[in-house]
Structures are given as C-alpha cells and as structure tokens.
Structure 1
C-alpha cells in the first residue's frame, strides 16, 4: 500500500470519528479509539493542530490537505525501514480499530444532531431552539444520571441541509 492510500485511509477514519464525536452521540468505544489515533498521530508525526482544525470544520479539502501532510510526515520518518514499518503498522492498527467501531454505528447516528446531558437534577428541563445546518436527519438526546421531578420538553428543532 502506498503512502497516499495510507494517509487517505487514516484521515478518512479520523474525519468520520471526529464527526461522530462532535455530535455528542458517539459511543465511549469510538471516543477512546478516535482519541488514541489522534494522539498517536501527534506523537509520531508532530503537532496535531491541523487535526484540531479538521474537527472544527470537516471538509473534503481539509481532509485532502491533512492526508497530504500525513503522507509527507510518514515519508520523513526517521529510522530504519523496519522501524518505519512498525510505526506505519501501528498507525494502520489504530485506524482499523476506529474504523471497525465506526462500522458498527447505524447510519442514522451519523445523521443525527447530538445532545449529551450528564448529571441533571431538576424539576423541569426544556430544550428548545436547536438548529443544525449540517444536513442531520434526526436528533439524539443522551442522558446519564438524571433526576427529574417534573417535565422534560424538547421543541423547536430545525434540521437544515
């Protein structure tokens, strides 16, 4: 496999993971594997600022540029051919682990706006005026450790393409 394909595969998995992690509906397994891949890239190939930028604005152009940068960084790896092969295999292993976790996620979760609320103790909860402009087709609300005495209302959700 050539470096262009390797870096493209890695960045595609990273971008998919970033999209799901940012949506707040990602399963813990995906968050852990996404962070593992991101940190590995930072440790082995330098600053991860471009990855942070990818998280903020997912675009094909950013993915392509980041893939090119990663390909260049792989080419510039110091060490013997065997040492470089080990690093590339580790990179591909983490990418595969993330990809396998992502493949388990139903497409509807990728297409959802995520709202993740933890440790709520309230009488009433109202979620309103949520606007998504990313083409989401649904809303997922995830909660943990909730204690409600009254009502929970969710209204005025707008999903734009």
Structure 2
C-alpha cells in the first residue's frame, strides 16, 4: 500500500525543508513503536516549532561516526546545538539495512533486514534510519506509508 503522489511529494518537500533546524528533543520509545523528533528554527523573528512523530516504527538504525576531535551524540554540554543537517523521505525505501553475522552459528540473523523510508543526520556525523508506516507532523498525519495499518500488530499502550 502507498500514499498518493501529492502526499508523497509533500513529505519529500517537508523533509528537505527542515534541514538545518535545531533539534530540541529526540525520543525513541520502543514500547510504543515511535520516534519523536522536535525541532525549532527562527525565521524573521518568529520561532518555528515542528514536532515530527514517526509511528508504527518497524525498525530503526543509528550509526555514530567514530569519535575524532568532536563530541559523541550522548556526550555534550547543555549549551551545545544539534543541527538536523540532512533529512529525507523515500517512498520506496532509502536502502536495505541487513545484518552480517560474525559468528557462523548465528547465520539465521542474516535473514533480518529493513527497508528504511526516513533518514536524518545530526551535526553531519550521526545517522538515523527509520522504517515507519505512519508519520504525524504538527498534527497532520500520513498513514499506510508501507502497508495498510490493519496488517500491523498494535503497540503496547
């Protein structure tokens, strides 16, 4: 199942437009199968606040660049800024994330894979890949991005 071309283009445009907004909160809730990304920006003396709520999250993958002369994602001072330096929506998927076993006895784990449809990057170094069937942006909801939601199990309330 997929959404309309207009809705897909709206999502693509939105995720391109929010690049370089400041991240004020990122909440990953395993039990509710959700990721909430809160952003803020200033435009002509007005604060623009955006809450992006990824719902029916089927998978997510986070990759942090090795530590060089900067800080790690969870090692920061209160005054540090976190910029959303890239973000995108890919209706048919960004790419397939797979697991390669380093242990011969765990080869069956290689059958797991994910086709993520959302991607964002923090401070040009930390990557977030999300496979979500629904996203709500400041109250506007886009559903059934991958499959009809009736086919999915309900998360823990």
TM-score w.r.t. the length of structure 1 is 0.23
Structure with the larger helix share: 1
Q: Which has the larger radius of gyration?
A: 1
Structure with the larger strand share: 2
